[in-house]
Structure 1
Amino acid sequence: MGMYVSVRGWIEVRHEQWDVFKRIVASHGQERYAAGFVFPSGFAWSLPVCYAADVREWAVKPLRWLVAELARMEPVDEDLDMPAGFFLLSDEWQQSFSWTVRDGQVIDGPAPAELRWFAERP
């Protein structure tokens, strides 16, 4: 069966990228991990799309591929802003790590020290 990994985070996009974002997520729609996105009804100049799901360990890699695909969306204005975001992952072994989304990339790293408590079990 495998271990579960809790994935919590967001990726912020522009309104003009919204249709592309939904299309990319829908292209992964048959996979259960893609269902963790919560789409806002946005009222500001950006849309922070939240993600929360407990996924099987095997699904972490394809979820990361999806996040990387979202991170590479083309800028839509003269500022050349790319999607930005942060994801905190923690597993049943009380390990935690993060994905930072910026400049068209997903950067893997340890969870920030101030967030490692999130993975701890009593």
Structure 2
Amino acid sequence: MVSVRGWLECDDEQLAQIEEIVEADDPQRTYSGGWAFPPRQYNNGNWAFYGGNIRAVSLDWFEERLRQIAQIPASYPDGEYDERPRGLFLLSHDVDGMSEWRVCNGGLVIGLPDGDDHYLDA
């Protein structure tokens, strides 16, 4: 099993697209129930969260969802900053240990955690 927990930050338009991606999954798919969207977003930003335990053989499903989300374009492409969805997920694998998945710059970067997050690897 792999314990997955993390968040995405985005704007209003992107949040609607993220919700569409999540809702497009088969309603019987157990793991899509790990997504949470606060009913009241505030302070110029929107958040989507994921938390759950996934079988290692199903990680491809989660990776594909994050890659789809990462490719959502900036709502205002002429802005000063790269304003595509971004976020951080920590994964604790029963066998392979901990990894960090970063949604940034239109892609997904998978690597080892940079910080002292190993206290979460239980």
TM, length-normalised to structure 1: 0.87
1:104 corresponds to which of 106, 109, 112 = 106
The structure with the largest helix share of the pair is 1
Q: Tell me the secondary structure at the aligned position of residue 22 of structure 1.
A: helix
What percent identity do the matched residue pairs reach? 24
Q: Structure 1, residues 75-100: CA drift from partner, whole Å, max 9, x if none?
A: 10132510000000002237000101
How many residues of Structure 1 are paired with residues of Structure 2 in the alignment? 117
How many Å apart are 1:18 and its aligned residue?
2.2
Q: Give me the CA root mean square deviation.
A: 1.5
The question of whether the paired residues in 2 share the 8 Å contact of 1:94 and 1:119 is answered with no
Q: Structure 1, residues 63-84: CA drift from partner, whole Å, max 9, x if none?
A: 0100110111111013251000
Q: Structure 1, residues 13-35: CA drift from partner, whole Å, max 9, x if none?
A: 10122221111111124322221
* 1:67-82 alignment runs, 5 A limit: 67-77=66-76, 78-79=78-79, 80-82=82-84
Match of 2:87 in 1: 85
- Alignment partner of 1:64 is 2:63: yes
Deviating 4+ runs (over 3 angstroms):
none
Q: Structure 1, residues 25-56: CA drift from partner, whole Å, max 9, x if none?
A: 11124322221111012012111211100111
Task: Find the aligned partners of 2:89 and 2:41 in 1 and give their Cα distance.
Answer: 20
The question of whether the paired residues in 1 share the 8 Å contact of 2:9 and 2:46 is answered with yes
Structure 1, unaligned stretches of length 5 or more?
none
Task: Find the aligned partners of 1:32 and 1:44 in 2 and give their Cα distance.
Answer: 32
Instruction: Compare 19-28 and 29-38 and name the one that shifted more.
Output: 29-38
- Alignment partner of 1:54 is 2:53: yes
